[in-house]
Amino acid sequence: MSISETTRAQLEELVARYPRPRSALMPMLHLMQSLDGEVTPDGIDACAELAGVSPAEATAVASFYTMYRRSPGGAHHIGVCINTLCGLLGGDAVYEALSERLGVGHDQTTPDGRFTLERIECQAACTHAPVMTVDWEFMDDVTPTSAVDVVDRLERGETVRSTRGPVIRTWRDTERSLAFPDDGLAAEGTPVDAKMLAGLSLAKERGMAAPTTAQEGR
Amino acid sequence: MTPLTPVITEHWDDPELFTLAGYRRHGGYTALASALKQDPDALIGMVKDSGLRGRGGAGFPTGLKWSFVPQNDGKPHYLVVNADESEPGACKDIPIMIANPHSLIEGVIITSYAIRANHAFIYIRGEVPEAIRRVALAIREAREAGLIGRDIAGSGFDLDVVVHAGAGAYICGEETALLDSLEGFRGQPRLKPPFPAVAGLYASPTVINNVETICNIPYIVGRGVEWFRQFGTEKSPGFKVFAVSGHVNRPGIYEAPLGITMRELLDYAGGMIDGRDVKFWLPGGSSVPLLTADHLDVPMTYEAMAEAGTMLGTGTPMVFNDTVSVVKAVTRWLEFYKHESCGKCTPCREGTYFITGTLERFEHGHGSEREMETLVDLCDQIAGRSFCALGDAAATPYPSALKYFRDEFVAATTTPVDAQFDPASAYVFSGAAAR
| Ordered strands of the B160-165 beta sheet | B160-165, B119-124, B78-83, B206-210
What are A100-107's contacts with CB under 8 Å, separation 24+? A101/A148, A101/A151, A101/A152, A102/A78, A102/A151
B427, A89: Cβ pair inside 8 Å?
yes
A178: chain B residues, CB-CB within 8 Å? 126, 129, 132, 165, 167
Compare CB distances from A126 to B10, B243, B424 and report the shortest one's residue: B243
Rounded to whole angstroms, the Cα distance separating A80 from B359 reads 23
How deeply is B116 buried, as exposed, middle or buried, from its count of CB atoms within 10 A (0-12, 13-18, 19+)? middle
Contact A21, A51 (CB under 8 A): yes
pLDDT of residue B233: 98
Kindly list the residues from chain A whose CB atom is less than 8 angstroms away from the CB atom of residue B137. 182, 186
Mean pLDDT of A14-31: 98
Q: How far apart are CA B165 and CA B142, in angstroms?
A: 19
H or E, element range at B353 = helix B346-363
Question: Is the pLDDT at A59 greater than 50, yes or no?
Answer: yes
Contact between A47 and A32 (Cβ < 8 Å):
yes
Sort out which chain B residues have CB atoms less than 8 A from A51's CB and list them: 184
Closest to B90 (Cα-Cα) out of B121, B59, B60, B56: B56
Q: Answer yes or no: is pLDDT of B349 > 70.
A: yes
Looking at CATH, the fold of the domain delimited by A76-179 is given as Glutaredoxin (3.40.30)
User: What percent of chain A has a predicted confidence (pLDDT) above 70?
Assistant: 98
Whether B398 and chain A come into contact, CB under 8 Å, resolves to no
Orientation angle between helical segments B397-411 and B346-363, nearest 10 degrees:
20
Confidence of residue A218 (pLDDT cuts 50, 70, 90): very low
Residue B137, chain A, CB below 8 Å: the answer is yes
Q: Do domains B239-321 and B326-426 have the same CATH topology?
A: no
Nearest to B184 among A61, A128, A137 (CB): A61
Note the CATH number of domain B20-224: 3.40.50.11540
User: Residue B194: is the preceding peptide bond cis (ω within 30°)?
Assistant: yes
* Average model confidence (pLDDT) across chain B: 97
Subunit contact B231:A209, Cβ cutoff 8 A: no
What value does the mean pLDDT take over residues A145-156?
Answer: 98
Q: What is the reported pLDDT for B68? A: 97
Handedness of CA B113, B115, B118, B124 (dihedral sign): negative
Query: Residues A28-47: what's their mean pLDDT?
Result: 97
Terminus-to-terminus CA distance in chain B, angstroms?
A: 41
> What average pLDDT score do residues A4-23 get?
98
Could B93 and A186 be called an inter-chain contact, meaning their C-beta atoms sit closer than 8 Å? no
Question: Count of alpha carbons within 13 Å of B129, Cβ hemisphere only?
Answer: 35
CA-wise closest residue to A118 among A129, A131, A127: A131
Helix axes B40-50, B211-223, angle to 10 degrees: 100
Q: What pLDDT is attached to residue B432?
A: 64
- Can you list the alpha helix ranges (DSSP code H) found in chain A? 5-16, 25-36, 41-51, 55-62, 84-86, 92-102, 144-155, 171-179, 198-205
Measure CB to CB from residue A122 to each of B86, B164, B181 and give the nearest one.
Answer: B86
3-class DSSP state for residue A208? coil
Measured between beta carbons, the chain A residues lying within 8 angstroms of B87 are 122
Determine contact: A177 vs chain B, CB below 8 A.
Answer: yes
Q: Say what the pLDDT of residue A2 is.
A: 75
B 60-99 residues with CB below 8 A of A? 76, 85-91, 93-95, 98-99
A210 contacts B126? CB cut-off 8 A: no
pLDDT, mean over chain A: 96
Averaged over B316-322, what is the pLDDT? 98
Q: CA A194, B246, A133 angle in degrees (round to 5)?
A: 65
Q: What is the pLDDT of residue A80?
A: 98
Distance CA B322, CA B276 (A): 7
* Helix, strand, coil percentages in chain B from 3-state DSSP, rounded to 5: 45, 15, 40
User: Would you say B7 and B180 are in contact if contact means Cβ atoms under 8 Å apart?
Assistant: no
Cα separation, B120 vs B204, in Å, equals: 13
Please tell me the distance from the alpha carbon of residue B17 to that of residue A197, in angstroms, as a whole number.
Answer: 13
Q: What amino acid is encoded at B357 in this protein?
A: G
Q: How far is A86 from chain B (nearest CA, A)?
A: 8
Measure the CA–CA gap between A29 and A178, rounded to whole angstroms.
Answer: 10
* Alpha helix ranges (H) inside B12-80: 20-25, 30-35, 40-50, 62-67
Phi, psi of A37 (to 5 degrees): 80, -5
Q: Is the four-CA dihedral A97, A103, A105, A109 of positive or negative sign?
A: negative
Q: Does a cis peptide bond (omega within 30 degrees of 0) precede residue A130? A: yes
- Inspect the interface and report whether the beta carbons of B255 and A23 lie closer than 8 Å: no
Distance CA B266, CA B260 (A): 11
Q: Are B183 and B202 in contact (CB under 8 A)?
A: yes
Q: Please, which pLDDT band fits residue B331 given cuts at 50, 70 and 90?
A: very high
Q: In this complex, do A179 and B166 lie within 8 Å of one another by their Cβ atoms?
A: no
For residue A76, pLDDT over 80 is answered with: yes
Instruction: Provide the pairing of β-strand B252-257 with B239-246.
Output: antiparallel
CATH architecture assignment, domain B239-321: Roll (3.10)
Extents of the domains making up chain B: 20-224, 239-321, 326-426
Give A82's contacts in chain B (Cβ within 8 Å).
332
Distance from the Cα of A4 to chain B's closest Cα (Å) equals 23
Query: What is the mean pLDDT of the segment spanning B419-432?
Result: 92
Question: What kind of architecture, by CATH, is found in domain A5-62?
Answer: Orthogonal Bundle (1.10)
Q: Is the pLDDT of residue A1 over 80?
A: no
pLDDT for position A214: 86
Beta-carbon separation of B328 and A88 below 8 A = yes
CA-based torsion, A71, A73, A79, A80: positive or negative: negative
Candidates B164, B153, B138, B19; CA nearest to B78 is: B164
Contacting residues of A for B76, CB less than 8 Å apart: 19
CA distance B63 to B52: 7
Do residues B316 and B91 touch, judged by C-beta distance below 8 A? yes
- Sign (positive/negative) of CA torsion B140, B142, B143, B144? positive
Per-residue b/e over A129-142, b at no fewer than 16 CB within 10 Å?
A: bbbbbbbbbbbbbb
Quick: pLDDT tens for B87-101. 999 999 999 999 999
- The gap between the terminal CA atoms of chain A, to the nearest Å, is 68
Chain B residues touching A195 at Cβ < 8 A:
250-253
Report ipTM (2 d.p.): 0.97
Q: Rounded CA gap, A102 and A109, in Å?
A: 9
Residues in B closer than 8 angstroms to A127, CB to CB, are 91, 243-245, 251-253
What pLDDT is attached to residue A215? 66
The two domains A5-62 and A76-179 share their CATH topology (first three levels equal): no
Q: What is the pLDDT of residue A217?
A: 45
Given a cut of 50, is residue B214 above it in pLDDT?
yes
Per-residue pLDDT tens digits for B66-83: 999 998 889 999 999 999
Instruction: Identify from A14, A20, A26, A120 which residue to disrupt to test chain B contact, counting B C-beta atoms within 10 A and taking the largest count.
Output: A26
User: Under CATH, which number does the domain B326-426 receive?
Assistant: 1.20.1440.230
Q: How far apart are CA B101 and CA A196, in angstroms?
A: 14
Q: Closest CB to A192: pick one of B15, B85, B428.
A: B15
Q: What is the pTM of this model?
A: 0.98
B392 burial (CB, 10 Å; 0-12 / 13-18 / 19+) is middle
Kindly write down the DSSP assignment for every residue of B179-234, as one continuous string. HHHHTTS---PPPSSSPTTTS-GGGS-EEEEEHHHHHHHHHHHHH-HHHHHTSB-S
Give phi and psi for A108, each to the nearest 5. Answer: -115, 155
Task: Read off the pLDDT of residues B26-64 as tens digits, 9 standing for 90 and up.
Answer: 999 999 999 999 999 999 999 999 999 999 999 999 999
